Amino acid sequence: MKALKGVKILDFTHVQSGPTCTQLLAWFGADVIKVERPGVGDATRKQLVDVPGADSLYFTMLNHNKRSIELNSKNETGKEVLTRLVKECDVLVENFAPGALDRMGFSWERIQEINPRIIMASVKGFGPGKYEDCKVYENVAQCAGGSASTTGFLDGPPVVTGAQIGDSGTGLHLALGIVTALFQREKSGRGQKVLAPMQDGVINLCRVKLRDQQRLEKGPLKEYSQYGAGIPFGDATPRAGNDSGGGQPGRILKCKGWETDPNAYTYFITQAAVWEKVCDVIGEPDWKTKEGYATPPERLSKLDEIFARVEAWTMTKTKYEVMDICNPLDIPVGPILSTKEIMEDQGLRATGTIVDVDHPERGQYTTVGCPIKLSDSPVDVTRSPLLGEHTTEILQQVLGYEGEDLARVIASGAVGQVTK
Ligand SMILES: CC(C)(COP(=O)(O)OP(=O)(O)OC[C@H]1O[C@@H](n2cnc3c(N)ncnc32)[C@H](O)[C@@H]1OP(=O)(O)O)[C@@H](O)C(=O)NCCC(=O)NCCS
């Protein structure tokens, strides 16, 4: 049995942030009904197309295990169908631009009137305040949430990260808000509104940078390389390159083959608890007791020299050899894995984090499966729906439209070109 079996989700999401949330809920067993504009659908279906005529990977990789109904929510019959969906579903998830649902005639007040038990969950770019009406995409959220200003190197401009912390990160936050509201509904019997602003989600993920902002007011951040290099701090948390975010110094170091392979690097942490083992591995046993090297505070001003010495050693090994040598010694290291290496990783395939899926239009493709593992709620990743693939099925099975009534809805044009 799946954890969320029996939970019906009216999935009014598009692009990335909302779809990642509802995809997770689908993997946990919810029945996710994706409502899409007739003939058009989620804009990502036709973005970054790699197989002409087929849904893009952008869409397929964010919409597994869902059903799709085409529905024009601005048409009168469409509104009738949407009202019945609101009545039937436990959760409505949406990430339209601010005000779009109200303009359709489905304000939170109206939605509660239709179904007082429903949970209405929204992603918006910003929470209430001066920016609440703005449309927001991933990188805007990274910039407004403190990620860009703290990412990159000290002597360069702010940098956005490859991890989609604004979109997929906020989708995760929203999913937690939804299941929490469902849990509360068990006791209260009432639904509620759940809001996950993208800026707030990124700020939450940048928590340690706000920690450092306050520490900075008390003095320099001694674990930052900048301190050892004698570069003065400004009044805000600086970009820290590849310094480790915690109290243990770490850097990205070259490994054998770095001259031609852009990912022949390892992360290496000179954790205090294993300093003596680090000294032995890199061939500097004297540093275990040498003045200026023996204790963590002494080493802070010598991190450039120390990591240059560690790198002289890592450059003689592949990133995997570094892992094989250091892991048994409890020295924390991590190979820099390319996307190609990750997709070919047999371990990740064995756990279902990387999976192959068949698709009628595009053939087989590889995707990221559910990253959260529940021991009693297994996940089978099934392909994303074609546009409107389940329109009739949903009208009949979920909403009970039959016979003339069904024919009336189909003839109204509210549900697109129904072919079966
Ligand atoms: C992502 C975003 C910038 C995209 O903007 P957009 O492409 O202009 O899309 P919108 O959300 O404004 O929706 C466009 C219109 O389509 C309409 N629409 C959507 N689905 C519809 C349907 N099934 N039937 C009829 N109309 C529909 C909306 O009502 C809206 O109309 P309106 O402008 O008259 O109100 C915007 O949705 C947004 O800021 N969302 C919140 C933040 C977010 O999630 N960002 C990350 C995306 S990964």
pLDDT tens track of the chain, all 420 residues?
Answer: 999 999 999 999 999 999 999 999 999 999 999 999 999 999 999 999 999 999 999 999 999 999 999 999 999 999 999 999 999 999 999 999 999 999 999 999 999 999 999 999 999 999 999 999 999 999 999 999 999 999 999 999 999 999 999 999 999 999 999 999 999 999 999 999 999 999 999 999 999 999 999 999 999 998 898 998 899 999 999 999 999 877 789 999 999 999 999 999 999 999 999 999 999 999 999 999 999 999 998 998 888 899 999 999 999 999 999 999 999 999 999 999 999 999 999 999 999 999 999 999 999 999 999 999 999 999 999 999 999 999 999 999 999 999 999 999 999 999 998 865
Q: Specify the residue with its C-alpha closest to ligand 1, atom 17.
A: 100
Which of 96, 102, 139, 173 for mutating ligand 1's site (highest number of atoms within 8 Å of CB)? Answer: 96
List the binding residues for substrate: 246-248
167 tagged catalytic: yes
Is 340 inside any structural domain? no
CA distances from 100 to 42, 120, 420 (A): 15, 14, 31
User: What is the distance between the alpha carbons of residues 6 and 179, in angstroms, rounded to a whole number?
Assistant: 13
Is 367 inside any structural domain? yes
Q: Indicate whether 151 and 186 sit together in one domain.
A: yes
Q: What φ, ψ does residue 268 adopt, rounded to 5°?
A: -135, 125
The enclosing domain of 184 has a CATH number of 3.40.50.10540
Is 201 inside any structural domain? yes
Q: Indicate whether 197 and 216 sit together in one domain.
A: no
Work out whether strand 31-36 and strand 265-269 pair parallel, antiparallel, or are unpaired. Answer: unpaired
Q: Indicate whether 326 and 387 sit together in one domain.
A: no
Is 341 inside any structural domain? no
Is 255 inside any structural domain? yes
Q: Indicate whether 71 and 167 sit together in one domain.
A: yes
Q: Indicate whether 159 and 72 sit together in one domain.
A: yes
Domains in the chain: how many in total? 2
Q: Indicate whether 191 and 260 sit together in one domain.
A: no
Distance 216 CA to ligand 1 centre (A): 41
User: What is the distance between the alpha carbons of residues 319 and 344, in angstroms, rounded to a whole number?
Assistant: 16
Full domain range(s) for residue 75: 8-205+355-411
Q: Angle, nearest 10°, between helix axes 168-188 and 198-205?
A: 100
Q: Indicate whether 267 and 359 sit together in one domain.
A: no
The answer to whether 354 touches 366, Cβ cutoff 8 Å, is: yes
* Helix, strand and coil percent figures for the chain, each rounded to 5: 40, 10, 45
Catalytic residue among 167, 200, 212, 243: 167
Is 72 inside any structural domain? yes
User: What is the distance between the alpha carbons of residues 98 and 193, in angstroms, rounded to a whole number?
Assistant: 15
pTM assigned to the model? 0.96
Work out whether strand 333-335 and strand 265-269 pair parallel, antiparallel, or are unpaired. Answer: antiparallel
